[in-house]
Amino acid sequence: MKISVARDVFPLAQVFTIARGSRTEAVVLRVEIEQDGIVGRGECVPYARYNETVESVTAQIESLEMPLSRERLQSALPAGAARNAVDCALWDLEAKLAGVPVWKLAGIEEPAAEITAYTLSLGTPEKMRSQAAENSFRPLLKTKLGGGLEDIARIEAVRSGAPDSRIIVDANEGWTPEIYRELAPVLVRLGVEMVEQPLPAADDDALLDMDRVLPVCADESCHDRASLPGLAGKYDMVNIKLDKTGGLTEALALREAALAAGYKVMVGCMVGSSLAMAPAVLVARGASVVDLDGPLLLAKDREHGLEYDDKSVFPPRPELWG
């Protein structure tokens, strides 16, 4: 068994802006694990918010001793981008060696097409109205917000541009409790269904004392199953991302634990290629919200990329993953 890691760069179709800043490209790491002439692949996105860099994640991956199993990997690396790429590569390798798809190996339902959100970049209300209008054919839009009362104007603009679409919003830790109390009733009136991570993860105890008229989804506050006890009373939904859970193995376990604890489930992604999204499609089965639009934000995707239509993402083909 041999492991290798490579850095890939995908230019974005347009500048993508969230509350923390803007980017023009997606920088990802591709892991390949070879055994008996068969290669399994996985992808991760090192994320500065979690103190990850391309260099630090590469070093984690290169520190692993071969041969490696998924079971040993769970303790060899912490939850995060490095473990994600390796875990997904091991699943892909195991499926190819066994000649059966990953979903059968995992003992879960066969994946199907899932309606996915399409993310609108943070901008002026005018620019966001234009983005919404261009994508008004999509059933579900996710709007990045930045904090402050201008977010009301942004959502009013998005609703004006896409009057028939469902809307969810992502504050990326950019609000305060006061902003939530002021914005939430207005957003509910405009048809917004939920907000992702309105408060900084370190300050989310404030949610315990708030009337959550607009449902709240944990993103930065929820990484793996160990996060769940700390979410009680604060959140209505959890966003499962493989780069946070450390791979498909923990993502599937987190989904079951979250549902058992009474949370609704969202399955999300970082901005990456179809290779990163493919394993997440298996987690998305039955989720309340699916947000796997990463490849739609790229100027060019990987070969054999995921298929999308006007509303849905489809399961991966074997040539891509799984």
Q: Which of 206, 221, 150, 144 has the alpha carbon at shortest distance from 176?
A: 206
Strand order in the sheet with 21-35: 2-18, 21-35, 38-44
Active site members: 144, 241
CA 178/CA 182 separation, integer angstroms? 6
CA distances from 295 to 2, 167, 174, 258, 277 (A): 28, 20, 25, 27, 8
Q: How far is CA 58 from the centre of its chain?
A: 21
Torsion of the alpha carbons at 167, 193, 217 and 186, rounded to the nearest 10 = 100
Amino acid found at 282: L
